[in-house]
Chains A and B, each alone.
Chain A
Amino acid sequence: MTSKIENSNGSATVYPAPNAMRVKVVGGGVAGLTCAHAFARRGAQVTLIERKSATGQGCSWYAGGMLAPWCERESAEPIIAELGLESLAYWREAVPDVPNEGSLVLAQPRDLPDLKRFSRRTEGFDWVDGAQIAALEPDLEGRFDQGLFFPTEAHLEPRKALAALTERLVNEYNVTIRYEADGFDVVDDQADEADEADVIMDCRGLGARDQLADLRGVKGEMLVLYSTEISLKRPVRMLHPRIPVYIVPRGDGHFMIGATSIENDERGRVTGRSMLELLGAVYALHPAFGEAEIVEIGADVRPAFPDNIPRLRRRGRTIYVNGLYRHGFLAAPALARRAADLAFDGTACPEVMDEDHREW
């Protein structure tokens, strides 16, 4: 089906065969881009449609980028860890700069019961004492006596990662990207084009609520700080009964702080209370954050199904990938691979597909 030509960088450029499956991907966030990749690497001829002028501008833009299946296992269903392990391997291969530094989970002495509970609810970690924490993160020396270290986890910078993936799709896989195009509106207006696609991948996130009535929005707020007084090698999670917070080092003195999780679907607005809570928590981690410069604040709404588990749904020739909740980077590649298996081989994946087959 496909022919491959090695280019000077040694990476393969894939040219779809004339009779290749034609796939239209709607939405250029982490779900759409990984779907485009999954289909293109199997030889499909992929067109990606993005509403904005660049990819990765929706809630992927505000993601933490923690590739932490074991940490997420504490509060998520086992399937999330399973998807996460597959996705972790994907990102290491698919994009540059995925530091394999693990992740660290800490709590203030008064919140040690939360740390114990966290440890009971997951695996893949070692208990670390104050000296070991200092060896991992020298700037945290003397600040914590106990913590959990998850050595096999990793993190990435979501914006850079999606830009790199977009570039690969275009350069290596000849994926056509149409920017500032409006997904299904365009399809409706141009019936010919709709007829051209064998498969439509609907990766619009909350935008697909018109088709997926059980989607809801869960708001998340974040901020980016800049400080030269502290450095961290890996994501650090601080447990707290009300205000759990994580800090992801983004390099060059930048730190992403996230994230609130609020049951509403209001886009964009960031409240003082949320910032107070996030900043208070990182200030407790290290006072240097009190002196840090606030570079950015942001908020968006994550799409979620009632059980917070992502889904593939197939209706006719459309496959929906949605409900990634707070697990976009953690789950998207594994879902994309399953979506391609479904389209190419008819392989069902009941773990992420609704059992209700009536509407197919």
Chain B
Amino acid sequence: MTVDGTTLTQIPPLAGAGAEPIAGKARLLRLPRSPKVVAGLGVLALFGLGALIGGWIAPYSPNATDEAGWVQHVLVTGTGPGTNLAANYYPLPLPPSPAHWLGTTVFAQDVWSQLLASTQATLFVGLLAAAIATALSILVGVSAGYLGGAADEGLSLLANVFLAIPGLPLLIVLADYVPSAGSSILLVALIIAVTAWAYSARVLRAQTLSLRNRDFVEAARVTGEGPVRIILVEVLPNLIPIVAASFLFTTLYAIGAYVAIAFLGLAGSPSSSPPGLWNWGEMLRQGFANNAVRGGWWWWWAPPGICIALLGTGLALLNFGIDEFVNPRLRLAGITARTARKAGVRLRASLGATPVLRRARKTSERAGAG
């Protein structure tokens, strides 16, 4: 729901090193150095940490309600003293305070504790679904690409069919019918994976197809190695960057999908029985359903949304980094605005007027002296 469907498509056949010889060694080192990758990894690490230690640092249980101590109560108009109805109070969520860093919900629950619990489940389901989907896409995509012929026709058709059927409606119908889907994390992940594998399978198929005709695979085949061994030893290792990119991409999609179905109330609510897990979508659903927007209780529904957007941005940045690693052209020839500015060049038109930058050159000395 939050994913750009085309980031993966321009990956060229794994063309070894690029055309110009100057990149060379620097390219390998560039992946971890790129600011996009660093930022992406940082965000992921933050959320990963939150998911891991969330259970310990959460000040309250996400389900704990303490209306007496925490929540401001408002008298319902038309009840209580002066009327002939018994006094009736409703709780009001409290804005962030030292006791409740992110305030409380209308149920007098601690938002920060809910957020921590939700991070864990959201990440877990997202990664699990992505892992299942990636495994599926490798199975289908690589087999289709390597086997060719009727197997390829059939598997490609399968992928294309799943790609053509809109994901969320399918997800909704599946989650709606599968009994108690919400209470089983594995089931939720599985359902999401079913709608998420097709795109990666198509990308992997195309890559395998181009690898299949390379000399080293040809050589392995001629020496009589079996298809399974060739796929595992010769083909798969060369697909790793693509698999990694598609895993990230699928994780992004899976988290978006999980949050979406949870928002629709299809992924199980912590208050239902059997209870589902706290997740960002569920927090948003509760906020939305209880008029948190209208009530101005932003601290309730904004944090989970911002978390989704941040995590999504982090994954997307990492994905860009891998994309640029696989397809060096996307790096805009390695010049950032900053280096250009430092060199005194205005990068306006990027084509058709090579900049002329005369300077006192040390070149001739260097070349002359050796």
A and B: partners? no
Q: Which residues of A contact B (CB under 8 A)?
A: none
Query: B: which residues have CB within 8 A of A?
Result: none
